[in-house]
Amino acid sequence: MDDPEAWRAQAATCACRRRYESDGPVLPGACGAGPGEACEAGVDIEVMSLGLVSFRAGLVGQAEAAARVREGERVGILLALRHHPVITLGRRAAPEELHVGPVALQSLGVDVYPVDRGGGATYHYPEQAVVYPILDLRRLRMSVPRLLQLTGDAVLEVLRGVGVEAEWDPERPGAYVDGAKVASVGYHLSKELTTHGVAVNLGRDLRGFDYIDPCKVRDQAIGSVEGLTGTCPDPDAVALALANAIAVRVAGSRGR
């Protein structure tokens, strides 16, 4: 966690949080754990809610979770979190996919990070729910296509819970509404261990996607829950619900 006091101050003034508390969307699987707390998803899979953290802190969290999973402490750990504005560049990202230079982006308050996941560029922002499933696929006896399928099912369920009916495209992994991408997926696999994961756009401020070719698709339309429904649900609650929805599916499909 970057600064717990700053997180609490931000959460107290977050318009998305106020709308969530007043409107109360139905989200599956939320256990009520607060930022930095853990809840058990069953088997030996753990779900942790971290709140708003920098991308660097998210990388550290993934590394620490991966070490615990490799040591056999858990078969999987899922991190539910949000990020300050950041563009991440996957291994296949080309220079022309970034439309604004790093110096200009820094002046806009947007960090840029190269990462080891596949794919191209994507954008994270505070009103976006992010989940990093750190899973030992060997011990789970699970294939990558099966994990992607379970992830897609979980994303669609959570989106329905906040009033959005989307379609999952396995060829371009993500959830779409009338061609606009509302959620994206990008895993990295190393020695049967997954890192990185899935992001769902909640708030309507999507300007950061204009700075890139999202997931290597020029002019890809980007959507959000708030843009579709007029309401931005609590991003921490959605991230936690999504992490639990994925964890429950992974636990239930173990060895299948």
Q: How far apart are CA 217 and CA 221, in angstroms?
A: 9
Q: How far apart are CA 81 and CA 188, in angstroms?
A: 18
CB distance 130 to 82 below 8 Å = yes
> Beta-carbon neighbour count of residue 140 at 10 Å?
22
CB distance 33 to 241 below 8 Å = no
Spell out the SS3 assignment of 94-133: CHHHECCCHHHHHHCCCEEEECCCCCCEEEECCCEEEEEE
Q: Is residue 14 flagged as an active site residue?
A: no
Give the gyration radius of the chain's Cα atoms: 17
CB distance 52 to 10 below 8 Å = yes
| Total residue count of the chain as it appears in this document | 256
Q: What is the dihedral of CA 49, 145, 167, 184, to 10 degrees?
A: 50
CB distance 117 to 187 below 8 Å = yes
Out of 16, 39, 215, 232, the active site residue is 215
Q: How far apart are CA 19 and CA 245, in angstroms?
A: 22
Helices within the chain (DSSP H only): 4-13, 15-23, 55-70, 102-107, 137-140, 144-161, 225-229, 235-252
Q: Which residues are catalytic?
A: 215
